[in-house]
């Protein structure tokens, strides 16, 4: 008899209340049950059960051994279930939340590629610029810009949130190209209306130096895409995430402005609840997004999946 099977039998005897009931549950004879319990007691050198004709009762050693056996058996079951789940194909619905622009323009193409590779997984993505609360929103995954404070949440770093400057070719032809951030005050700069400091951009240079560029402009908005369209229309210089502007730059609709400078980088995280047994679907989505969007990812922003796209 292995120690593990002996533990299982002992726990069954205690939970069933008698050797006879445990024997019926195990499809063995009561004599066999009694033999297994005696072997455990002989190995431990202690009595585990006090038995009378009417009932059985755990000894002090038996009570301690029973609690430890249940814990061990629970861990064994967890290990086996986790191992079996690793072999199962991801399937089901993943509920996710992400910021509006990042989610719509950077995340959706990646999720489309993921779903093409995992046809049994569906995704429900909510776009919301508020700080995500996984518990209140009943989300399994989230993308958060900035530091994570929600307790019990795992935060996996993605490539930092990087904003760059651009303008339309016509605007640059009319007004010239600035050579240093200290000249931005002479241009029309398209600002975010909800920023605390609407009159300045805190920029970082090629050698890590910083510069507070004081700006002016006639147009601002709370939506990044509105500012992008304003830039395409020749309204001025826009400061937006690189993934928002890269396609327009690649197609020549916008040109980079001060390409060696960018807005101070902001941390970006993939967040999810701590779980000792994550589902196959959740684990596969996490691994995929870390591979595609993580700090060490080699995926370029201007590359989009084509043959694999949904």
pLDDT digits (tens, 9 = 90+) for 179-219: 999 999 999 999 888 776 778 899 999 998 999 999 998 89
Instruction: Give the pLDDT score at 310.
Output: 25
Going from the N-terminus, what domains does the chain have, and what CATH number goes with each? 3-87 (1.10.10.10), 92-160+267-293 (3.40.190.10), 162-264 (3.40.190.290)
Q: What is the pLDDT of residues 261-289, one digit of tens each?
A: 999 888 999 999 987 577 889 999 999 99
Q: How far apart are CA 55 and CA 156, in angstroms?
A: 55
Query: Across the 310 residues of the chain, what is the mean pLDDT of every consecutive 10-residue run?
Result: 86 89 89 90 90 81 91 86 70 93 92 96 93 86 89 90 94 96 95 79 92 92 91 96 92 96 91 82 94 76 35
Comparing CA positions, the residue from 217, 127, 128 lying closest to residue 165 is 217
Residue pair 25/14 in contact by the 8 Å Cβ criterion: no
50-83 core/surface letters (b: 16 or more CB in 10 A; e: else): eeeeeebebeeebeebbeebeeeeeeeeeeeeee
Q: How far apart are CA 92 and CA 113, in angstroms?
A: 16
Length of the chain measured in residues: 310
Q: Is 249 exposed, middle or buried (0-12, 13-18, 19+ CB in 10 A)?
A: middle
SS3 call for 40: helix
Instruction: Give the pLDDT score at 307.
Output: 31
DSSP-H helix ranges across 17-55: 19-26, 30-44
């Amino acid at each position: 008899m292995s120690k593990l099977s002996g533990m299982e039998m002992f726990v069954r005897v205690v939970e069933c209340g008698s050797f006879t009931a445990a024997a019926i549950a195990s499809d063995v004879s009561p004599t066999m049950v009694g033999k297994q319990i005696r072997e455990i007691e002989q190995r431990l050198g202690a009595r585990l059960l006090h038995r009378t004709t009417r009932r059985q009762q755990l000894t002090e050693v038996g009570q301690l051994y029973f609690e430890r056996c249940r814990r061990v058996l629970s861990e064994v079951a967890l290990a086996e279930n986790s191992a079996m789940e690793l072999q199962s194909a991801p399937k089901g619905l993943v509920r996710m939340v992400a910021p509006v622009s990042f989610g719509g323009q950077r995340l959706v193409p990646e999720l489309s590629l993921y779903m093409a590779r995992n046809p049994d997984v569906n995704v429900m993505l909510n776009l919301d610029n508020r700080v995500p609360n996984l518990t209140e929103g009943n989300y399994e995954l989230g993308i958060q810009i900035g530091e994570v404070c929600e307790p019990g949440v795992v935060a996996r770093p993605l490539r930092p949130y990087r904003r760059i400057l651009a303008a339309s070719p016509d605007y640059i032809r009319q007004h010239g190209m600035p050579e240093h951030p200290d000249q931005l005050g002479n241009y029309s700069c398209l600002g975010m209306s909800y920023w605390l400091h609407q009159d300045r951009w805190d920029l970082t240079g090629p050698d890590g130096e910083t510069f507070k560029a004081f700006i002016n402009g006639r147009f601002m908005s709370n939506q990044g895409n509105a500012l992008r369209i304003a830039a395409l229309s020749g309204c001025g210089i826009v400061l937006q995430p690189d993934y928002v502007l890269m396609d327009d730059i690649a197609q020549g609709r916008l040109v980079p402005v001060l390409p060696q400078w960018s807005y101070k980088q902001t941390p970006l995280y993939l967040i999810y609840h701590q779980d000792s047994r994550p589902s196959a679907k959740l684990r596969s989505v996490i691994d995929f997004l870390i591979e595609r969007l993580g700090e060490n990812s080699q995926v370029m922003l201007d590359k989009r999946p084509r043959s694999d796209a949904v």
